[in-house]
Structure 1
């Protein structure tokens, strides 16, 4: 049975990184669209799959899994020799470095990205006023973190070594939305950070996703 992906076609959030892993690993799947504006994610049927009423989630021949980062790890472990190699290496030390980079993304990067996104997009979309002081403070903290990235990326090509891994890929969950809002967090950063971001944000599979949305043909690299 082909894997089922419950998500939107729109490339953002957890859907973005799961779809990118599916594309990079060339994993066939069936997209089952969940329409958030009509609350399809809150139906009893969907709540069985995802008790928090969110997306994405997958059904892999009866095995149901939610939370995008967990899904990405699962897919890489199930298809280690298919498509892009090394996204989630099996070696003890290599995997530890990936988990280290993934933890940095989760604790030192995305919280500040989400603060900016909340102020510039979510609050206005709900009729609330943006607090520019919160935006400025979040960006200031984010830039401090990216200064540390600059040092790390001066030693290795990617965050966990010289191969593209989930530690890098997870950064595509939310950061691209800032550019959509006209916020450029990269151009004035150091050369290593700029080189790294250009590399991961122009991968063919990612560009295809951004151009076409999530479709069952995005598995073609």
Structure 2
């Protein structure tokens, strides 16, 4: 049995895990969890897979399970790609700079990108009331944060230094979502800061992310054909 990922290809957290696995060349099976039908809130799923009723969940052949996408990504890197460079090893300063970069993403990118998506994509999709004020706040805050990113990326190639790492991968799902669906222009195009645009073009062109995008497109095509 190959590694199983219980998740949903349209889920940003699932995408981060899938992209990490593709970077490592690790075979996996995606076990679809239908969020639209509330499968993640099924009592059996909560009791046996994820106590908070969320995705994704990793499951190995011996029954070991792990949830939280960041923990899953770190685990598979440690197990299948300790020398991949996705998480630095050996050099204490490179490790520290990597941890700094992960913290930067978690505190200066994720809250605003996910907050913007929540108000403009997820809530409307559920028919829930959304706040244009909060959306605008997140939009402006993210633009301001990316101005600082431009300064950082003017001194190095990637967020953690001159090597591609998990810290870069973690930006891809939400960054792509708000760019593609909301027309957010601070990551690519003429309105983006030059160093940010260069970095974004680099990481979105990686084969691992293109494969993940292909999976998303295929799933979207299946949904349309089954509609």
What 5-or-longer segments of structure 2 have no aligned partner? 219-227
Residue aligning to 2:203? 200
Using CA pairs under 8 Å that are at least 6 residues apart, name the structure with larger relative contact order, 1 or 2.
1
- Write the distance in 2 (CA, Å) between the matches of 1:190 and 1:132: 25
May I ask how many residue pairs the two structures share in their alignment? 212
Residue aligning to 1:100? 100
TM-score, normalisation: structure 2: 0.86
Residue aligning to 1:183? 183
| Cα pair 1:5 1:58 within 8 Å, conserved | yes
- Write the distance in 1 (CA, Å) between the matches of 2:108 and 2:21: 26
- Write the distance in 2 (CA, Å) between the matches of 1:138 and 1:31: 32
Residue aligning to 2:119? 119
- Write the distance in 2 (CA, Å) between the matches of 1:18 and 1:80: 14
Describe the SS at the equivalent of 2:112. helix
Greater mean alpha carbon deviation, residues 120-129 or residues 52-61: 120-129
- Write the distance in 2 (CA, Å) between the matches of 1:212 and 1:154: 33
Greater mean alpha carbon deviation, residues 64-73 or residues 54-63: 54-63
| Cα pair 2:2 2:27 within 8 Å, conserved | yes
Describe the SS at the equivalent of 1:101. helix
- Structure 1 residues 152 and 33: CA distance shift in structure 2, 3 A: same
Tell me how far 1:194 sits from its aligned partner: 0.4
Describe the SS at the equivalent of 1:55. coil
1:37-186 equivalences under 5 Å are: 37-47=36-46, 48-60=48-60, 61-80=62-81, 85-91=84-90, 92-128=92-128, 130-184=130-184, 185-186=186-187
TM-score, normalisation: structure 1: 0.88
C-alpha RMSD of the superposition: 1.9
Instruction: Provide, for residues 18-37 of structure 1, a one-character-per-residue CA deviation record: whole Å limited to 9, x for no partner.
Output: 00011110111122111112
- Write the distance in 1 (CA, Å) between the matches of 2:65 and 2:109: 29
| Cα pair 1:9 1:214 within 8 Å, conserved | no
Instruction: Provide, for residues 113-141 of structure 1, a one-character-per-residue CA deviation record: whole Å limited to 9, x for no partner.
Output: 12211221123223355533322222211
- Write the distance in 2 (CA, Å) between the matches of 1:212 and 1:39: 22
Describe the SS at the equivalent of 2:29. strand
| Cα pair 1:8 1:214 within 8 Å, conserved | no
What 5-or-longer segments of structure 1 have no aligned partner? 216-221
Tell me how far 1:81 sits from its aligned partner: 5.4
